[in-house]
Amino acid sequence: MGKNKEKITKREEQLLEQIKNLYIGYRKSYIKMYYNKGESTAKYYRPTWALHDYQILAHVRQKQTIGIFAGQVFCKFICFDVDSPELELSRHTTKALVVLLNHDYNISLDDIHVSFSGKKGYHVEIFLDEFIESNKMEHFYYDVLNNLGKLSEEVEIELRPLHTVGLKLPLSIHKQTNKYCHFVDNQTLRKKTDSEKYFLSIEPMSKDYFEIEILPDSKKINQVQFLNEDEKIESKKIINNINYKIDIESETKAILLVLKDKHLLYPNSRHNFCFKASIFLKEQGHDIEDTLKILTDVLENTFKYYRDMIDKSTTQDYALKELKRIVKNTYNKNYIWGQTSKEIKIYKDELKEVLNISTNGKSLHLKKLALSTLIQSKRYASQNGVFYMPYSTMTKMGNTGSRGRLLQYLLNLEEMGFLEVVSRNEKSEGTYKKKANKYRVSIAQEDGDEFIVLDLNEIGKYDLKDYIVELLTIKEAKEILTKSQFYDLGLAKLYKMKKQ
């Protein structure tokens, strides 16, 4: 114990506190890793004493490697422990899991944390800012496995920590391989340049948001229904071949060329084309039946006249069945084209209506979010005014990063009649998967002579105050805003600069 009493550096103290904040909820027992040369694998034993900060500090200093347990009733995070005989197989499964959590459960990539286990696996973790019932995390785990499917019989994805099964903490050494258990990028799985710095930057997700927006209905989850063999292969192919990042200009040109010629132009492009073209056609106003018909014609012509553009092992029936699934997912989840080419204008009267929003202590936050939803509606709303807006987009547009507070603000805007929440936490028919949350701005979108045209590539850089200064005179701004709001936004200085 004397070694552990050496002077604690500021960095060690920060790491100790962050581990306690994110991981530690149960201290009555813990596990300690050890390895005897010549044995096939490292092992763990449970010391008879409780977990103290001394053991955590020894772990941070890489003198011990310890793991923790969940409480019998409550826990504060979930870990998907991905393991297999081959690291590459674990990598593939981990990437698929991250895609699923991000796209199907609307969990921001900022809230999905992945670390290397030290041997041939990865830990995929989600942290909460408050304790949650352990059985809720168990239901979430089974729902995720249900939607992911059993990608390979060699892969295990285990729920950790449990009250009876521990989880090794990151940022120390795996005793068998002598490798550092570092954090990785959650999309590429490349090693973080500074795992400790990344770890210290982690902020837990709102427990309220997790329960309301993400947690499945536990009453409907009885057991894991794995995909059948054909669906498993199909899911793996889609995950492997679809690139979700869209370069708008070049992709639009490529899609238009294929639609014009009515056949694929490049080998092995079927997955990417079907996915991106279905989003493109949806954004152009086509319904699901029209989109399916247009893309079916492309694939049928390709099979008939340009067979070498599609893998020889892929049959036409299989490709059309897969197309139907991709198109259905695109509409159910309301995937959006990364930008829109139409001109977006914000009118003076619209801004005034946004600024007139007020409620106890939250008016500025509500005004900012209301303006963000108005802009998003103008960019992406369908003919009936419905649009999708993930929480990550709200944050990028200058709103709070707290999902719990964003949810409350959205509900406030709905109560005030500014916004309609069309659907939230809705399940797709016949599955436990959730559709994308949909909204509709309820105010009449104004017209008039006074407006500003938005640069769609710069929207994230604009703040509420920029719109005010551009569209309102200083007298108008002071009439609508309270004195504290006017000065909190720094408008006095901005109007003075505008005069110069």
DSSP state of 74: E
Q: What is the pLDDT of residues 137-152, one digit of tens each?
A: 988 998 888 788 666 7
Helices 464-471 and 363-380, packing angle to 10 deg = 80
Considering the chain, what percentage of its residues have pLDDT values greater than 70?
A: 80
Q: How confident is the model at residue 218 (pLDDT cuts 50, 70, 90)?
A: very low
Predicted local confidence at residue 348, as pLDDT: 87
Which residues lie closer than 8 Å to 379 by C-beta, 6 or more apart? 339, 340, 342, 344, 387, 456
Comparing 293 with 386, the larger pLDDT belongs to 293
Q: How confident is the model at residue 359 (pLDDT cuts 50, 70, 90)?
A: low
Residue 413 neighbours by CB distance under 10 Å: 23
pLDDT at residue 396 greater than cutoff 60:
yes
Q: How confident is the model at residue 427 (pLDDT cuts 50, 70, 90)?
A: very low
Predicted local confidence at residue 241, as pLDDT: 45
Predicted local confidence at residue 122, as pLDDT: 97
Comparing 59 with 438, the larger pLDDT belongs to 59
Strands (E), 11-83: 30-34, 43-45, 66-68, 74-83
Q: How confident is the model at residue 387 (pLDDT cuts 50, 70, 90)?
A: confident
pLDDT at residue 130 greater than cutoff 60:
yes
Mean pLDDT over 274-285 rounds to: 77
pLDDT at residue 10 greater than cutoff 90:
yes
Q: How confident is the model at residue 273 (pLDDT cuts 50, 70, 90)?
A: confident
Strand order in the sheet with 438-441: 386-388, 438-441, 419-423
Q: Exposed (0-12), middle (13-18) or buried (19+): which is 390, by Cβ within 10 Å?
A: middle
Predicted local confidence at residue 364, as pLDDT: 85
Helices 87-103 and 134-148, packing angle to 10 deg = 110
Q: How confident is the model at residue 319 (pLDDT cuts 50, 70, 90)?
A: confident
Domains of the chain (ranges; CATH) run: 3-220 (3.90.920.10), 242-332 (no CATH), 345-499 (no CATH)
Predicted local confidence at residue 7, as pLDDT: 87
Of residues 201, 260, 192, the one with CA closest to residue 21: 201
Q: What is the pLDDT of residues 446-485, one digit of tens each?
A: 666 788 877 655 666 667 888 888 888 899 989 888 888 8
Mean pLDDT over 222-228 rounds to: 43
198, 192 in Cβ contact below 8 A?
Answer: yes
Quote the distance between the C-alpha of residue 456 and its chain's center.
Answer: 22
Copy the structure tokens of residue 174.
Answer: 């795996």
Q: Exposed (0-12), middle (13-18) or buried (19+): which is 361, by Cβ within 10 Å?
A: exposed
Strands (E), 353-404: 386-388
